[in-house]
Amino acid sequence: MDKIVIAGGVPLAGEVEISGAKNAALPIIAATLLAPGEHRLYNVPPLADIRTAKKLLGLMGVTFEDGEPLVVDSSRLTGWMAPYETVKTMRAAVLVLGPLVARARQASVSLPGGCAIGARPIDQHLKGLEAMGVKITLNQGYVEAKAKRLHGADITLDLPTVTGTENLMMAATLAKGTTRLVNAAQEPEVTDLARFLTVMGAQIEGIGTDVLTIHGVQELKPASYTIMSDRIEAGTYLAAAAITKGQVTITNAPVPYMAAVLEKFHEAGVRLSTTNDRIMVEPGGSLIGVDVKTHFFPGFPTDMQAQFMALMSLAKGASVITETIFENRYMHVSELKRLGADINVTGNLAVVRGCKQLQGAPVMATDLRASASLVIAGLAAAGTTEILRVYHLDLGYARLVEKLSALGARIRREAA
Ligand code: EPU
């Protein structure tokens, strides 16, 4: 297993280009199951999760031709099962459930179970599908779904789940009649999927709002689409630039979707300016501790909580961080403490008291964003930080070591 070794203390400098969004690419790849034919997807990020998604759809008879665009041929559907081995490594595998029942009228998808950041049930996905006429049974850890043609339904989600909204929206595109999805997730990645579905011929109203109205159509057509760029990757480089007091331009950033994050960095004293697709970070005064509470979009994303905490560990004063989306998303805290951060967690609150300097140490990556926070802290720490279990980073950050090296970071990957 590889590790990442960082010699910290170098202010980052230069330009970094943001890749396509993992959490938009995954549902969009799943959505190709809805329409037989050749789809062309641009800006698909080169990530381990994307390779897993391709393998999963491969089990269903879908073929892929790598390149720009990624060509996805979903003409033949020969399987409808997402096995445990795949779902346990990538929870987003559950996204095949909606498209499969809509097109093949059946699906067998392993229940995801818990993961490093919490229990993460899929009850809302199942409740919505049942309302559309899908018969769901549980068999040996698998959700077995069967349906005749789905019918439209009025569904109010208990909470605006991202992949739940995506699954139900995809299923509803081929249902007979109209589906109203109330309390839908408004995350930009849900919007990106809705746009892709629209290019395929789906009829969706209320895109980007919390009420999606989907008029089912008889069939969808294959489509060409460019995936949005990754707001969390952009935020991660922003944190890396800020913590090293660097001068960095982040290009291809989805700035209009980053308001809550940019606002918090600004409040924390980070000097930044933006255009529609660029963020310019300048070295400025000292970092100030600010409070952050994660929230569904348009609030501050849980996927930026760990990275922001790393930044706050070097701010002047205290910062109270409240995690409201996942119950167990503080796995990075004990590792950041190993680098000298002063953090106390009570329930879902973390109090971070800024310190003067972090010190490099060996640390363990536990999940994708936790790992990113350790990289950010390591870039600022004195001495050497070694991050073990870096496969977590491969799931969600395209060419991380190359991109940071190009900004002048002393970072390398080596066999542990
Ligand atoms: N929830 C339920 N029941 C459900 C579904 C969700 O109780 O049926 C709860 C979850 O347990 C959680 C909350 O609702 O407490 C929100 O979960 P959500 O379903 O929105 O999360 P997700 O769809 O599983 C996506 C992203 C995550 C991101 C969250 C929140 C993808 C593939 N994953 O997960 O991304 O953290 O939304 O924004 O889109 C990451 O990229 O590192 C990552 C974990």
Span between the terminal Cα atoms of the chain, in Å: 6
Number of helical H runs and strand E runs in the chain: 14, 24
Which residue owns the Cα nearest ligand 1 atom 39?
A: 23
According to the model, what pLDDT value does residue 328 have? 84
Burial of 402 (0-12, 13-18, 19+ CB in 10 A): exposed
- pLDDT tier at 112, thresholds 50, 70, 90: confident
Residue 409 pLDDT more than 80?
A: yes
Query: What is the atom index within ligand 1 of the atom nearest the CA of 123?
Result: 8
Give the tokens for residue 292. Answer: 């952050």
Enter the pTM of the model: 0.97
Query: What is the atom index within ligand 1 of the atom nearest the CA of 95?
Result: 32
Centre of ligand 1 from the C-alpha of residue 162, in Å: 6
Q: What is the mean pLDDT of residues 134-153?
A: 94
Is there a contact between 300 and 316 (Cβ–Cβ < 8 Å)? no
Q: What is the mean pLDDT of residues 382-409?
A: 95
Ligand 1 pocket member 303 (CB < 6 A): yes
Centre of ligand 1 from the C-alpha of residue 203, in Å: 25
Q: What is the mean pLDDT of residues 270-294?
A: 96
- pLDDT tier at 223, thresholds 50, 70, 90: very high
HEC string of 103-119?
HHCEEEEECCCCECCEC
According to the model, what pLDDT value does residue 114 have? 61
Ligand 1 pocket member 39 (CB < 6 A): no
According to the model, what pLDDT value does residue 113 have? 66
Backbone angles phi and psi of 211, in degrees to 5: -125, 110
Which residue owns the Cα nearest ligand 1 atom 28?
A: 303
Ligand 1 pocket member 299 (CB < 6 A): no
Percent of the chain with pLDDT over 70: 98
Residue 208 pLDDT more than 90?
A: yes
Q: What is the mean pLDDT of residues 7-36?
A: 98
Secondary structure of residue 232 in the 3-state scheme: helix
Give the tokens for residue 192. Answer: 């990106």
Q: Which of 41, 69, 64, 43 is nearest to 52 (CA)?
A: 64
Residue 309 pLDDT more than 70?
A: yes
Percent of the chain with pLDDT over 90: 92
CA 131 from centre of chain:
27
Strands laid side by side in the 38-42 sheet = 63-65, 70-73, 38-42, 224-226
Residue 70 pLDDT more than 80?
A: yes
Q: What is the mean pLDDT of residues 108-132?
A: 86
Ligand 1 pocket member 133 (CB < 6 A): no
Q: Which of 123, 97, 122, 92 is nearest to 109 (CA)?
A: 97
* Region of poorest pLDDT, from 9-18, 228-237, 276-285: 276-285
* Region of poorest pLDDT, from 114-128, 145-159, 338-352: 114-128
Q: What are the angstrom distances between the C-alpha of 310 and each of 11, 121, 333, 367, 402?
A: 16, 28, 9, 15, 21
Strand intervals (E) in 70-163 = 70-73, 81-82, 106-110, 135-139, 142-146, 154-156
Which residue owns the Cα nearest ligand 1 atom 25?
A: 162
Ligand 1 pocket member 23 (CB < 6 A): yes
Pocket test for ligand 1, best of 130, 159, 191 (most atoms within 8 A of CB): 159
Ligand 1 pocket member 52 (CB < 6 A): no
Q: Which of 159, 131, 127 is nearest to 143 (CA)?
A: 127
Query: What is the atom index within ligand 1 of the atom nearest the CA of 118?
Result: 11
Residue 119 pLDDT more than 80?
A: no
Helix segments in 36-92, DSSP class H:
48-58, 84-89
To the query of whether residue 115 is one of the catalytic residues in this protein, the response is: yes
Centre of ligand 1 from the C-alpha of residue 14, in Å: 33
Ligand 1 pocket member 159 (CB < 6 A): yes
Indicate which residue of 71, 77, 104, 115 is catalytic: 115
C-alpha 305/C-alpha 310 separation (Å) is 9
Centre of ligand 1 from the C-alpha of residue 272, in Å: 30
Centre of ligand 1 from the C-alpha of residue 281, in Å: 30
According to the model, what pLDDT value does residue 1 have? 81
Is there a contact between 192 and 228 (Cβ–Cβ < 8 Å)? yes
Centre of ligand 1 from the C-alpha of residue 408, in Å: 34
Give the tokens for residue 226. Answer: 């460019």
Ligand 1 pocket member 26 (CB < 6 A): yes
According to the model, what pLDDT value does residue 317 have? 96
C-alpha 135/C-alpha 131 separation (Å) is 9
Which residue owns the Cα nearest ligand 1 atom 9?
A: 120
Ligand 1 pocket member 396 (CB < 6 A): yes
pLDDT digits (tens, 9 = 90+) for 17-28: 999 999 999 999
Average pLDDT over the chain, rounded to an integer: 96
C-alpha 123/C-alpha 393 separation (Å) is 28
Give the tokens for residue 109. Answer: 């998808």
Query: What is the atom index within ligand 1 of the atom nearest the CA of 92?
Result: 32
C-alpha 386/C-alpha 364 separation (Å) is 8
Ligand 1 pocket member 92 (CB < 6 A): yes
DSSP, residue by residue, 246-291: -EEEEES--GGG-HHHHHHHHHTT-EEEE-SSEEEEE--S--B---
Strands 178-182 and 2-7, by their bridges, are: unpaired
Ligand 1 pocket member 114 (CB < 6 A): no
Which residue owns the Cα nearest ligand 1 atom 5?
A: 122
Q: Which of 264, 316, 309 is nearest to 287 (CA)?
A: 316
